[in-house]
């Protein structure tokens, strides 16, 4: 099932995508969907980020070929950091290039969307707390990230977590092709099977530390091929069985 969050006129709602239609559901997507009756054409709604995470728990250096290209070793345990909920945008929204950065990179990643409040999840039982999977771009101001030991500022700007275009509930996350394209040119091409720490291991590890809430997202790390984007570029993250997340880069307009 494909779950989306959509806007039609001034109404925002969750829906299930079937073909070219969006079937509106009553309430949230975290219980068995109750169809509310309204059906919209996909072209008549604007898709929003498919969930509203209280936090995005991201994993650094989870593909060995990416750790190698950064000239960094791989930590034995998952390396975690948090992106704020305010960094989330949807497919079709614009990533704002901060005026205070000189290098802003794409990082195409598989996003895991949590479906249930959970803690102390066993690795083997991870699927029971997952709603589904989406495409994610862990946008990073690389110069700012590298200038300090904490990554919050370099990875926490508004618009630095494109998510979408929807949540796919019926796939296994372990062997999916993942590709990032910049202006239609392929820059990252890998497979989720190359992750060092699997989705199950990540959920067990993260939920040993903190409660995960419905709609929270885990950014599972990026494969090799990261690189800079420029204002005006179009970046796409495509994951097999899910879809394609598309965003344009625009310049920052300061208030006043």
Tokens 């420029």 belong to which residue? 230
For residue 10, the SS3 value is: coil
Least Å from the CB of residue 108 to Mg ion:
9
Least Å from the CB of residue 66 to Mg ion:
8
Residue 74 neighbours by CB under 8 Å, 6+ apart: 61, 64, 67, 196
Instruction: Tell which positions 65-124 bind Mg ion, by CB under 5 A.
Output: 107
Least Å from the CB of residue 87 to Mg ion:
12
Instruction: Tell which positions 221-240 bind Mg ion, by CB under 5 A.
Output: 222
Q: CA of 157: how far to CAs of 87, 123, 221, in Å?
A: 6, 32, 18
CA distance 115 to 200: 14
Cα 107-66-244 angle, rounded to 5 deg:
30
Among the candidate windows 18-26, 79-87, 137-145, 241-249, which touches Mg ion by CB under 5 A? Answer: 137-145
Nearer to Mg ion, 6 or 219 (CB): 219
* Cβ–Cβ < 8 Å for 132, 3: yes
* Residue 168 touches Mg ion, criterion: CB under 5 A: no
Nearer to Mg ion, 48 or 56 (CB): 56
Nearer to Mg ion, 192 or 222 (CB): 222
Nearer to Mg ion, 33 or 225 (CB): 225
Binding-site size, Mg ion (CB under 5 A): 3
Q: CA of 245: how far to CAs of 39, 93, 204, in Å?
A: 23, 10, 27
Candidates 105, 138, 168, 179: give the one binding Mg ion (CB under 5 A).
138
For residue 131, the SS3 value is: strand
Nearer to Mg ion, 6 or 57 (CB): 57
CA distance 29 to 31: 6
Least Å from the CB of residue 139 to Mg ion:
9
Least Å from the CB of residue 214 to Mg ion:
23
Q: Which residue ranges make up the site for Mg ion (CB under 5 A)? A: 107, 138, 222
């Amino acid at each position: 099932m494909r779950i989306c969050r959509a806007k039609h006129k001034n109404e925002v709602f969750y829906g299930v995508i079937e073909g070219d239609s969006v079937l509106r559901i009553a309430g949230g997507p975290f219980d068995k969907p109750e169809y509310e009756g309204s059906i919209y054409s996909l072209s008549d709604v604007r898709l929003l980020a498919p969930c509203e995470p209280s936090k995005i728990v991201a994993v650094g250096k989870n593909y060995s070929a990416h750790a190698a290209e950064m000239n960094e070793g791989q930590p034995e345990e998952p390396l975690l950091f948090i992106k704020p909920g305010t960094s989330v945008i949807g497919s079709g929204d614009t990533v704002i290039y901060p005026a205070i950065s000189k290098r802003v990179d794409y990082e195409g990643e598989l996003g895991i969307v949590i479906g249930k409040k959970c803690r102390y999840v066993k690795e083997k039982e991870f699927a029971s707390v997952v709603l589904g999977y989406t495409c994610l771009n862990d946008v990073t101001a690389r110069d700012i990230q590298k200038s300090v030991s904490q990554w919050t500022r370099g990875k926490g700007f508004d618009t630095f977590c494109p998510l979408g275009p929807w949540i796919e509930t019926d796939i296994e996350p372990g062997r999916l092709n993942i590709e990032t394209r910049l202006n239609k040119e392929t820059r990252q091409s890998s497979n989720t099977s190359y992750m060092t720490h699997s989705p199950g291991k990540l959920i067990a590890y993260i939920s040993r530390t903190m409660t995960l809430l419905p709609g929270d997202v885990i950014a599972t790390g990026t494969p090799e091929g990261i690189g800079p984007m420029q204002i005006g570029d179009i970046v796409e993250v495509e994951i097999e069985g899910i879809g394609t997340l598309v965003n344009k880069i625009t310049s920052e307009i300061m208030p006043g």
